[in-house]
Structure 1
Amino acid sequence: MVTLAEVARQAGVSPSTVSYVLSGKRAISEPTRARVEQAISDLGYHPNAGARALAGKRSHIIALVVPLRTDVYVPIMMEIAIAVTMAARQYGYDVLLITNDEGPEGVRRVAASGLADGVVLMDVELEDERIPVLRELGSHAAMIGLPADAHGLACVDHDFTAAGALCADHLADLGHRDVAFVGYAPQVYRRHAGYAERTLTGFRERAAARGLRILHRPCEGTYESTAGTLARILEDRPATTGFVVQNEGALGPLLSLLRGSGRIVPEDASVVALCPEQLAEQNSPRLTAVTGPAQELGRQAVELVMSRIDGGAPPEITLLTPVLTVRESTGPGPFPVR
């Protein structure tokens, strides 16, 4: 890699002169400027991101803060991250990955350094401690997720409240009255992950409006934890015939455990999943599922952050409409609607 010192030697000037030519912070004679620019061209020198940032120019880098947790579904997170990377390249931008275990200080380090022109924040919590840092620094940022207070922010997310309501409506329309919601691990709700809490809120509100009796049981998603969750559900509410599952890890175990308990899906129990299309298709029976386009989240997040970089676009909140696809895992309940 060509260095600034090599450019200086080629042009016959000091390294500081090369820096002044790049930054424009000091007047340089035209002949000297021409020699430096010719040396840069001949050697193929590219200032690094930090140098460009210090010069007050764009770094052409977007920082993407990705979740590094055991309680997230990694394939979806990687699909979103890949979509962000591909969309950024269309704008001539590269992506710098930051893991969310660095917390607010990691976001501050990147945003305040000028290393990145903008930030895309994933796995947004309702009371996310990273957002005040972005507000304080006035960063060009986009959220993949919706915090409780979205004032002044650019956000894109699935409409998880509507997704939860779709699940309740589908099972109510089929005639189910006792329904269990198998959710994520307890720590997901303790940290107030927006996608988990908004889905549960939408489900609860619509279930109340439709006269459903519901249980919510968090689940770690392993076979053992799913077995324990199902046992508690059937002990507390033996008449349960409908299951809504927002935990990708619990889907396979739950179907197996229902079969093992003598409950045939969908004749004796109906299962609605909140999961990607490909996962719904891989199970047996194929799952009725509420889905949303993960790649679209990444693409729109980049568009939001680029619009803010280019012109300080006003705040914008976009919620993508969920889609329910009926497959073989749901059927009529004990109280069919006529």
Structure 2
Amino acid sequence: MVTLAEVARHAGVSASTVSYVLSGKRTISSQTRERVERSIRELGYHPNAGARALASSRSNIIALMMPLRTDMYVPVMMEIAIAVATTARERHHDVLLLTGQEGPEAVRRVVGSGLADAMILMDVELEDERLPLVRESPRPAVLIGLPTDATALTCVDLDFAATGRLCIEHLADLGHRDVAVIGEAAAVYERHTGFAERTLDGVRERAGELGVRLLHRPCEGSYESVAGTLARIVDERPDTTGLIVQNEAAIGPLLGLLRQQGRAVPEDMSVVAICPEQVATQQSVAVTSVAIPAQEMGRRAVELIMAKVERGGAGGAALARLPRTAAETSVKLLPPRLTIRASSGPAPSRSPATAH
């Protein structure tokens, strides 16, 4: 294993100079820095994480809290996590992935251990139990999500309320007056998960303004669950001509069921989804959709957290000394973009109930 002393000899500098280049604690001339960095690359030197942390009071690790739940669409969460890890590596940081459903205890563990310089939290609920600890923590934090009260927090997310409004506006513009939302699993709403609740709020608000009758039904996403949900919608609102789907796993089964029932898409039933691009485009009918900008959310979260770490010094301690009322509040909501594809069209002159 290559040592710091060997790097120093190779670069023709002192060991302390190599240490300062790694830690950034002192200003080093650009020529010397380049020579040291070239030696590090050529020798394949990897600084010991423990020694690096002792020397700089920083671990160069970001904790990513991403609870994995069976009722959530894991591919989107993993895409965000990969974007976080990739962007962090570009900034010479590693990522500590915490996937347990520990709530506040996970925050206490990260803060108490000193393993990470900062935290990024996913799966944010409207009244998230982790947030009081996050606000008090000496470690800077960024949320990928938006709670009800974002005071003294830094958040980045898709604007899900605007997403809901955009979906209902598209269907209303096409003449649809009875629309149903096939949503996430019931447990997602029971936890008051932010993205699901905010989407529904946006849909309901705009539907009321546009005079669209709306029905919302949670769905587990399995074929059997989608079949049952669709049957309930048709039974309760037989005049439904438009569907908004916020459940990636339900899209394929839904299109298959509509086809089996002789309901043509979009001639009899229009479908709009909130999902990744690849999910929308790889269906039997290309689906009109609002894409989830997973990579952009992950990248922006790291950029925000690095700005906090670099501005606040070791562990962001300077930020932590601010009183809550003076602490930074920053909310960045990414605007939704709807892509029109083959699954949405003008409302039929006859309702599906009459046509079938």
Shift of 1:56: 6.1
Instruction: Give the conservation status (yes or no) of the 8 Å contact 1:292–1:323.
Output: no
Name the CA distance, whole Å, in 1 between partners of 2:220 and 2:93. Answer: 38
SS of 2:101 mapped into structure 1: helix
1:264 is aligned to 264
Shift of 1:316: 1.5
Name the CA distance, whole Å, in 1 between partners of 2:135 and 2:177. Answer: 45
Name the CA distance, whole Å, in 2 between partners of 1:45 and 1:152. Answer: 36
Summarize deviations over 1:19-73 as a string: whole Å, max 9, x none.
Answer: xx99xxxxxxxxxxxxxxxxxx99x784434x55456611000011112111111
Instruction: Give the conservation status (yes or no) of the 8 Å contact 2:207–2:214.
Output: yes
| 1:321 partnered with 2:335 | yes
Summarize deviations over 1:171-210 as a string: whole Å, max 9, x none.
Answer: 0000001100000000000001101000000000000001
TM-score (ref. length: structure 2)? 0.80
Structure 2 counterpart of 1:146, which letter? L
Instruction: Give the conservation status (yes or no) of the 8 Å contact 2:267–2:348.
Output: no
1:14 is aligned to none
Summarize deviations over 1:253-298 as a string: whole Å, max 9, x none.
Answer: 1111111112110000000000011110001210000113210001
List alignment gaps of at least 5 residues for structure 2. 6-18, 21-39, 313-318, 320-327, 351-356
Summarize deviations over 1:131-170 as a string: whole Å, max 9, x none.
Answer: 2122222321010001111101111000000000011000
| 1:205 partnered with 2:201 | no
Structure 1 counterpart of 2:306, which letter? M
| 1:307 partnered with 2:321 | no
1:172 is aligned to 172
Structure 2 counterparts to residues 220-239 of structure 1, below 5 A: 220-239=220-239
Cα RMSD for the two superposed structures: 2.4
Name the CA distance, whole Å, in 2 between partners of 1:252 and 1:331. Answer: 19
Shift of 1:333: 0.5
Name the CA distance, whole Å, in 1 between partners of 2:60 and 2:93. Answer: 5
Compared with structure 1, are the counterparts of its residues 98 and 2 closer, same or farther at alpha carbon in structure 2 (3 Å cutoff)?
farther
Name the CA distance, whole Å, in 2 between partners of 1:203 and 1:144. Answer: 21
Instruction: Give the conservation status (yes or no) of the 8 Å contact 1:147–1:194.
Output: yes
Instruction: Give the conservation status (yes or no) of the 8 Å contact 2:118–2:309.
Output: yes
Instruction: Give the conservation status (yes or no) of the 8 Å contact 2:268–2:348.
Output: no
Q: Give aligned-pair identity as a percent.
A: 62
| 1:57 partnered with 2:61 | no
TM-score (ref. length: structure 1)? 0.84
1:242 is aligned to 242
2:345 is aligned to 331
Name the CA distance, whole Å, in 2 between partners of 1:261 and 1:149. Answer: 45
SS of 2:62 mapped into structure 1: strand
Name the CA distance, whole Å, in 2 between partners of 1:101 and 1:53. Answer: 28
SS of 2:180 mapped into structure 1: strand
Instruction: Give the conservation status (yes or no) of the 8 Å contact 1:111–1:134.
Output: no
Instruction: Give the conservation status (yes or no) of the 8 Å contact 2:111–2:138.
Output: no
List alignment gaps of at least 5 residues for structure 1. 8-20, 23-40
Name the CA distance, whole Å, in 2 between partners of 1:45 and 1:263. Answer: 60
Compared with structure 1, are the counterparts of its residues 174 and 335 closer, same or farther at alpha carbon in structure 2 (3 Å cutoff)?
farther
Instruction: Give the conservation status (yes or no) of the 8 Å contact 1:288–1:327.
Output: yes
| 1:48 partnered with 2:49 | yes
Structure 2 counterparts to residues 1-338 of structure 1, below 5 A: 46-49=47-50, 52-53=52-53, 57-312=57-312, 314-334=328-348
Compared with structure 1, are the counterparts of its residues 80 and 177 closer, same or farther at alpha carbon in structure 2 (3 Å cutoff)?
same
Instruction: Give the conservation status (yes or no) of the 8 Å contact 1:66–1:100.
Output: yes
Name the CA distance, whole Å, in 1 between partners of 2:96 and 2:142. Answer: 15
Name the CA distance, whole Å, in 2 between partners of 1:160 and 1:100. Answer: 25
Instruction: Give the conservation status (yes or no) of the 8 Å contact 1:292–1:320.
Output: no
Name the CA distance, whole Å, in 2 between partners of 1:277 and 1:191. Answer: 27
Instruction: Give the conservation status (yes or no) of the 8 Å contact 1:108–1:134.
Output: no
Shifted more, 70-79 versus 51-60: the winner is: 51-60
Name the CA distance, whole Å, in 1 between partners of 2:337 and 2:128. Answer: 28
Shift of 1:335: 6.5
Structure 1 counterpart of 2:105, which letter? E
Shift of 1:112: 2.3
Instruction: Give the conservation status (yes or no) of the 8 Å contact 1:66–1:99.
Output: yes
Structure 2 counterpart of 1:176, which letter? H
Summarize deviations over 1:291-315 as a string: whole Å, max 9, x none.
Answer: 1321000110001111111114733
Instruction: Give the conservation status (yes or no) of the 8 Å contact 1:111–1:119.
Output: no
Structure 1 counterpart of 2:49, which letter? N
Structure 1 counterpart of 2:163, which letter? A
List structure 1 runs of 4+ shifted beyond 4 angstroms: 51-56
Shift of 1:109: 0.7
1:37 is aligned to none
